[in-house]
Amino acid sequence: MNDALDSLYREVVLDHYKNPRGKKKLAHVDIKNEGKNPMCGDEIEVEVELDGDRVKDLSVSCAGCAISVASGSMLYEVIKGKSLDEVKKIARIVKAMLKGEEYSTDGIDLGDLDVLEGVRKFPVRIKCALLSWTTLVDALEGMENGKKASVSTTE
């Protein structure tokens, strides 16, 4: 990664870390889940309000390192208003991006998420970046399977 991209990565991550976008209280919660990343001590709580098969609103409260908080904040920005199918697709893209696998954005606007590619340089931080995504997807799948998700941990 060149220096310009490196400083962009740092700037975007720090901005989300200092002002996490999704930290708020929802008036109505349809599904929620907690996640932990024991490797780093990151903890997260995700709440979702649905409108049919669409994420009407969500809240992401994360206590942890800069990467975990920033990733949760970006998740909030990108996921709000998306259909559940799109949410799962985006979560797969993020996973592939972090693991250095090939992916196609399929016309989805990833917002600031592309800077997460910078996390690949720090393998120990990949779990931090994945925490919010794993926690959200587990919550959605738990709902679809008709049971409440237990606390999620990053693989």
Residue 44 in contact with Zn ion, rule: CB under 5 A: no
The SS3 of residue 152 is strand
Residue 113 in contact with Zn ion, rule: CB under 5 A: no
Q: How far apart are CA 120 and CA 109, in angstroms?
A: 21
Q: How far apart are CA 36 and CA 15, in angstroms?
A: 23
Tokens of 86: 């799109």
Residue 154 in contact with Zn ion, rule: CB under 5 A: no
Number of residues that bind Zn ion (CB under 5 A): 6
Binding string, 46-85, against Zn ion, x = CB under 5 A? ------------------xx--x-----------------
Q: How far is the CB of 128 from Zn ion (least distance, A)?
A: 3
* 138: alpha, beta or left? (left if phi > 0; alpha if psi -120 to 50): alpha
Kindly indicate which of the ranges 48-56, 77-85, 89-97, 128-136 contains the residues binding Zn ion, using the contact rule CB under 5 A: 128-136
Instruction: Give 51's strand partners.
Output: 54
Binding site residues, Zn ion, CB under 5 A: 40, 42, 64-65, 68, 128
